Amino acid sequence: MANSRAQPAAPHHIAIVMDGNGRWATRRFLPRVAGHRQGVESLRRCVQACADRGVRVLTVFAFSSENWNRPQEEVSGLMELMALALGREVPRLREDGVRLRFVGERSNLSERIAQGLAKAEQATAGNTRLTLNVCFNYGGRWDIAQAAARLAEEGEAITEASLDRALALSHVPDPDLFIRTGGEQRISNFLLWQSAYSEFYFSDRLWPDFDEAALDEAIGAFAKRERRFGLTSAQLTESPAADQPTA
């Protein structure tokens, strides 16, 4: 495929822990919520960049099950920002062919936010260029537990395949590339099940500073990895014919 940037092929699905907003703000003597506001700008740029590079699914961690334990002022600032961003960003995402999906527990969200999420999903349901999964009030453990509970309730056997289908991200394949910005090298309860064979990439950049060049660096690093999925390196390069039994 022709590509003017001479970039390696983009991964199908990128997942990102958008970390470092608070530190970005603190370094500028700003309130932490100013960092989250800048984080929305960075996400807008990243969505566009992913779509331009042929990424089909982008899954981002916006608010974790544990983030409720932050100071009340920050939590309400984040909720307010979500409500604002929904109003402001959805029309453009809709125009740009982005399908929005929100992944996480909705029962303890305010009515206003819950309705906003549902409306945004409806408004972009027909889009196919890029699926943007926003994990909000999400935890990997929550997801596995809710999936298991649902299967138990329906009297279905718990197998890898049935759990896979019951998980909140069952509408997309597992992430190929898992990026965390902000310098920490941990999962923090993001896609515990789905990242089993993802390639991990840790960037020291704070999320508001994670620009197109940083994304290209991550994609470039991904392109150099050899994904073996439990096989040997030699098996990956063997031609299918080599597997045929010889007469």
Backbone phi, then psi, for 102, in 5-degree steps? -105, 135
Selected from 19, 89, 174, 176, the binder of ligand IPE by CB under 6 A is: 19
Q: Which residues pair with 13 in a beta bridge?
A: 57
Annotated binding residue at 21? yes
Nearer to ligand IPE, 146 or 188 (CB): 188
3-state secondary structure of 200: strand
Annotated binding residue at 187? yes
Binding segment (CB under 6 A) for ligand IPE, from list 17-25, 140-148, 192-200, 230-238: 17-25
Q: Which of 106, 112, 52, 103 is nearest to 83 (CA)?
A: 112
Selected from 10, 17, 46, 113, the binder of ligand IPE by CB under 6 A is: 17
3-state secondary structure of 240: helix
Backbone phi, then psi, for 178, in 5-degree steps? -115, 115
Annotated binding residue at 211? no
Binding mask 175-204 for ligand IPE (x = CB under 6 A): -------x-x-x-x----------------
Helix axes 72-95, 32-52, angle to 10 degrees: 20
Selected from 34, 61, 103, 214, the binder of ligand IPE by CB under 6 A is: 61
Helices (H), the chain: 21-26, 32-52, 72-95, 111-123, 140-153, 160-166, 212-223, 233-237
Binding segment (CB under 6 A) for ligand IPE, from list 40-48, 61-69, 150-158, 237-245: 61-69
The residue number with the shortest CB distance to Mg ion is: 19
Active site residue 164: no
Annotated binding residue at 28? no
Collect all residues with Cβ–Cβ distance below 8 Å to 40 and sequence separation of at least 6.
Answer: 81, 85, 89
Candidates 52, 67, 127, 209; catalytic one: 67
Shortest Cβ 192–ligand IPE spacing (Å): 13
Q: Does 21 bind ligand IPE (CB under 6 A)?
A: yes
Tallying the residues shown for the chain, one arrives at 247
Q: Pairing mode, if any, of strands 177-180 and 98-103? A: unpaired
Contact (Cβ atoms closer than 8 angstroms) between residue 13 and residue 57: yes
Nearer to ligand IPE, 22 or 116 (CB): 22
Contact (Cβ atoms closer than 8 angstroms) between residue 17 and residue 179: yes
Q: What is the DSSP letter of 173?
A: P
Partner touching 23 among ligand IPE, Mg ion, none, CB below 5 to 8 Å by kind: ligand IPE
Active site residue 19: yes
Shortest Cβ 20–ligand IPE spacing (Å): 4
Binding site, annotated residues for substrate: 20-24, 32, 36, 64-66, 68, 70, 180, 186-188
Which residues are tagged catalytic? 19, 67
**Using CB under 6 A as the criterion, which residues of the chain lie in contact with ligand IPE when the complex forms?**
17-23, 61-64, 67, 78, 182, 184, 186, 188
